[in-house]
Every structure is written in structure tokens, then in C-alpha cells.
Amino acid sequence: LNRGLTEKFLTGKKILISAGPTKESVDPVRYFTNHSSGKMGFALAAEASRLGAEVILVSGPVTLKTPDGVTRIDVETANQMYEEVVSRYNDQDVVIKAAAVADYRPISVYEEKMKKKQDGLTIEMERTKDILEELGRRKNSQYLVGFAAETINHLEYGRKKLEAKNLDAIVVNNIKTEGAGFGSDTNIVTFISRQGAEKEIHLAEKTEIARQLYQMIWTEIRDEQQ
């Protein structure tokens, strides 16, 4: 696998990574979000930069430090992430969507804080745009990578998403596995690619996972060019 990979094998490549959760407000004090620390996406950005790439990191609200050499763009909502990612897409060689994007947002956002009432509360939600699916539709030469965190059947769901969103690869994990949960510094993932790879990366620090993912991605890009 490592044959032909120099120390800075991503030199000259442009890589865009999305990370973290998105935040969908319902009033000035409340919002819907997903579990996501942003650690996997930030590790991917840091590692790509170390490997010589020109890196843009589009991040939802997280409490992490921007990795050295990385251009960071902060967003809150799924729609803002859509704009920032899609508008930069054409320039990129590799795009990795590690963000936990909200699938729904409240249909109306109240201008003033909602006051509590005697009864329960029902909030009507609508779908957000699927950023990755749109990137799959618009793909020309980019190598496009999705992420999927699942609680059951992760390989099967991963393969389906790879197809449905026209990806080159998807990185899946079962969040119920010890060491692969949210907020953890470690992860266990399986890399599934259009070219037919299906490789598990065993329990490791997210930075190490990132390094191995780039080796797999780069090997595939290189093979495609030959």
C-alpha cells in the first residue's frame, strides 16, 4: 500500500473537509443539533496539511483549535454549510464530508423566545438540503468521500450511501462499538470505495485513522490516473 508514497504525498492537492455538527435554531435560545465533536474532521484537516495539501476546513460549531496551515470557515446551519462547500467545490481535488449535518430544521424560527405552556410542544420540521448528494451530482474530477455513523448494519448502509450519493468512497463506523463513539479521540472505521476496497482500520487515534485514510485515498487516485 505504501509503495510510491513520499512523506508529503498530498503536495499540490486541494482538499476541502467539512467537520462538526450543524445547528438549526427554533428561537433565539434553542436549537437542534447532532452529536459531533468535530475531532475526526479536524484530524483529517491537520493530517492533510501535514501531508502537504492546501486545506479548507468548513466547520460547524465546535470547540477545537484550527490546525496549523489550514484555512477555516465557520458556519452554523446546514444551509450555510451547503453554500460554503458547494461554492468551492469546482476547485478541489478531494472533498471529505465528515460533518454531522442536520437532516431537518424547524419550518419557522421564532423571533422571540418561546414561552412554555401547560401542554407539550410539537415543532414542525422540514428537510435540509443534502450537501453530499449535491456534490455527487455535480462531480467532475473530484475524489468525493462521505462519512456515515450508524448504530446497526453499518457496512450495508455505507455501501448504499456510496451508490446513492455517487461517492468515490465512504468511511463508516458503528458508533455503538467501544472506542468509536462521539467525542472520542479514537475511532474504528471501514473504508469502502467505488473501486471495490473494503478495509477496516482498527482502533486507533483519529490522527492515525486520518493518515491511513489518506494513504487509501491517494492510492486510489493514483491508480485511476494510470
Closest by CA to 130, choosing from 156, 155, 106, 166, is 166
20 binds, among Ca ion, ligand CTP, none (CB under 5 to 8 A by kind): none
Nearer to ligand CTP, 9 or 81 (CB): 81
The one catalytic residue in 2, 34, 90, 174 is 34
Question: Residue 199 CA to chain centroid, in angstroms?
Answer: 19
Q: Does 146 bind ligand CTP (CB under 6 A)?
A: yes
Cβ 165 to Ca ion, closest distance in Å? 11
The answer to whether 34 is a known catalytic residue is yes
CA–CA separation, 89 and 217 (whole Å): 18
**Looking up cell 437532516, which residue turns up?**
103
CA–CA separation, 144 and 167 (whole Å): 5
Which listed residue (27, 74, 83, 103) binds ligand CTP by CB under 6 A? Answer: 103
Which listed residue (27, 83, 93, 103) binds Ca ion by CB under 5 A? Answer: 103
Q: Give yes or no for a contact between 124 and 85, defined as CB atoms under 8 angstroms apart.
A: no
Task: Name the residues annotated as catalytic.
Answer: 34
Residues that bind ligand CTP (CB under 6 A): 78, 97, 99, 101, 103, 128, 130-132, 146-148, 161
